[in-house]
């Protein structure tokens, strides 16, 4: 801004502040549309960003280079028996075939899952689940230890009675003491605790075939130990598993590898549709697309409030012109040009939307914090949402202030001076 324009702008700004200050209640009521509109944009985007961040972080935790195969639960025993005539279900054989035919596989682990009927120490909260996995599962799932260690391939081969507790399972079973070195009894088998894991993110609902489960409230044991120590009386289930985790090479085509795994399983299961394949990389891309669409919809909805606020600014500015017709005539009579009057009313309109935008940002920030506190949701107020809402509010003030300002500038000076006569 040049010195000449600055000298023109500052008096207009001072006059605008004076005029708005002399009508405080009217100015505040005019700003309400801007305040609510900007507050709605900021708070709605913060809620959406918080929810999406949790989902995206959970998907990233699954591993963008991983493939996860989950067997489908069939609670009806008759339906399950009918299905088993077509397909034997997920098995170690399936995993061996995938390992042999998919060159991009760098690590893999089967999984057996159960919820114990009896557990000691007694669970004070929800009963922890038990995962039987191979040692490679730690690296595939990105587990990190806060105490002790994970079990080894030798311990799995020798069916050692050892286990690793998730953070929630440790707090559930051993809330007041160190868990490493203690023992946990699953059914009739004792397992010695050799490690405790750090916190993991957990999906709040089922996500594309992944069951909703507290990943912190788990007990990990060697899969061979589970089969021969916990499932000893269930020999007909020895080869059956309920999940497999596959990690691919960094340069692998994730989509092509996923299609190959799906084809192998469909062939061996005779298209029984008794499993689901989760590709975290595809889920991540889909969630990011969903997030962009959500943000666009939220902005469009909240912008309606800003448009209403803009109409309010126009109405008040038009009423103000009627009240100040004589003042405009005096300004024109002492030498003010149409551009000076136009600029004066535009500055007032923009100032209303500017101050309303600032108050709206504060309102939106407060609303997002209130929602986070009351509902326990994660909310994130981003710089982009603040800038977007603020720029739209100022633009609305400018656009809806042009017509009243132009009308004021076109008033005939003589008629304006006669207005109060």
Q: Which of the residue ranges 134-148, 280-294, 304-318, 349-363 has the most confident prediction, judged by mean pLDDT?
A: 134-148
pLDDT bin (cut points 50, 70, 90) of residue 235 is: very low
Most confident of the following: 75-89, 258-272, 405-419: 258-272
> Residue for token digits 């909240």?
302
Distances (CA, A) of 196 to 171, 179, 214: 10, 7, 15
The continuous run of DSSP H or E covering 186 comes out as strand 183-186
Kindly report the number of other CB atoms within 10 A of residue 275's CB atom: 21
Confidence of residue 86 (pLDDT cuts 50, 70, 90): confident
CB-based contact 155:195 (threshold 8 Å) = no
Q: Which among 278, 280, 274 is positioned nearest to 71, based on CA atoms?
A: 274
Lowest mean pLDDT among 53-62, 188-197, 249-258: 53-62
158-169 mean pLDDT:
96
Q: What is the pLDDT of residue 9?
A: 57
CB-side exposure of 329: number of CA atoms within 13 Å? 15
Token pair for 3: 């010195």
Helices (H), 324-377: 325-333, 338-375
Confidence band (pLDDT; 50, 70, 90) for 352?
Answer: confident
Average pLDDT over residues 362-368: 88
Q: Rounded distance, CA 218 to CA 197, Å?
A: 10
Q: What is the DSSP string of 192-215?
A: EEEEEE------SS-BTTBPP--T
Is cis: bond before 121, omega within 30 of 0? yes
Q: How confident is the model at residue 236 (pLDDT cuts 50, 70, 90)?
A: very low
Of residues 303 and 178, more confidently modeled: 178
Average pLDDT value for residue range 230-236: 57
The H helix count followed by the E strand count for the chain is: 14, 11
Full-model pTM: 0.71
79-83, 89-93, 217-221: which is most confident: 217-221
């Amino acid at each position: 801004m040049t010195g000449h324009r600055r000298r023109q702008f500052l008096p207009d700004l001072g006059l605008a502040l004076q005029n708005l200050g002399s009508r405080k209640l009217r100015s505040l009521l005019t700003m309400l549309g801007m305040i609510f509109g900007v507050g709605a944009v900021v708070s709605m985007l913060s809620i959406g960003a918080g929810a999406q961040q949790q989902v995206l972080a959970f998907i990233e935790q699954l591993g963008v280079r991983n493939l996860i195969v989950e067997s489908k639960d069939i609670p009806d025993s008759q339906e399950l028996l009918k299905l088993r005539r077509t397909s034997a279900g997920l098995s170690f054989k399936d995993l061996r075939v995938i390992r042999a035919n998919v060159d991009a596989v760098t690590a893999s682990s089967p999984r057996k899952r159960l919820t114990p009927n009896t557990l000691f120490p007694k669970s004070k909260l929800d009963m922890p689940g038990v995962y039987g996995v191979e040692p490679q599962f730690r690296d595939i799932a990105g587990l990190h230890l806060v105490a002790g260690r994970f079990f080894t391939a030798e311990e799995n081969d020798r069916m050692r009675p050892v286990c690793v507790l998730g953070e929630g399972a440790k707090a559930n079973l051993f809330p007041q003491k160190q868990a490493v070195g203690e023992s946990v009894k699953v059914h009739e088998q004792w397992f010695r605790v050799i490690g405790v894991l750090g916190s993991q993110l957990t999906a709040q609902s089922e996500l594309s075939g992944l069951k909703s489960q507290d990943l912190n409230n788990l007990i990990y044991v060697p899969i061979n130990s589970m089969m021969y120590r916990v499932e000893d009386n269930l020999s007909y289930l020895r080869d059956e598993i309920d999940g497999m985790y596959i990690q691919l090479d960094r340069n692998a085509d994730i989509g092509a590898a996923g299609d190959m795994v799906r084809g192998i399983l469909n062939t061996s299961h005779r298209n029984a549709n008794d499993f689901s394949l989760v590709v975290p990389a595809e889920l991540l891309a889909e969630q990011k697309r969903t997030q962009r669409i959500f943000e666009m919809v939220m902005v469009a909805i909240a912008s309606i409030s800003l448009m209403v606020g803009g109409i309010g600014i126009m109405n008040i500015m038009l009423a103000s012109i009627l009240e100040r017709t004589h003042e405009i005539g005096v300004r024109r009579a002492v030498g003010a040009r149409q551009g000076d009057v136009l600029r004066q009313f535009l500055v007032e309109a923009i100032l209303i939307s500017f101050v309303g935008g600032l108050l709206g940002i504060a309102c939106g920030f407060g609303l997002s914090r209130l929602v986070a506190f009351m509902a326990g949701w994660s909310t994130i107020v981003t710089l982009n949402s603040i800038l977007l809402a603020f720029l739209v509010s100022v633009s609305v003030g400018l656009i809806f202030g042009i017509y009243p300002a132009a009308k004021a500038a076109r008033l005939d000076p003589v008629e304006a001076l006669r207005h109060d006569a």
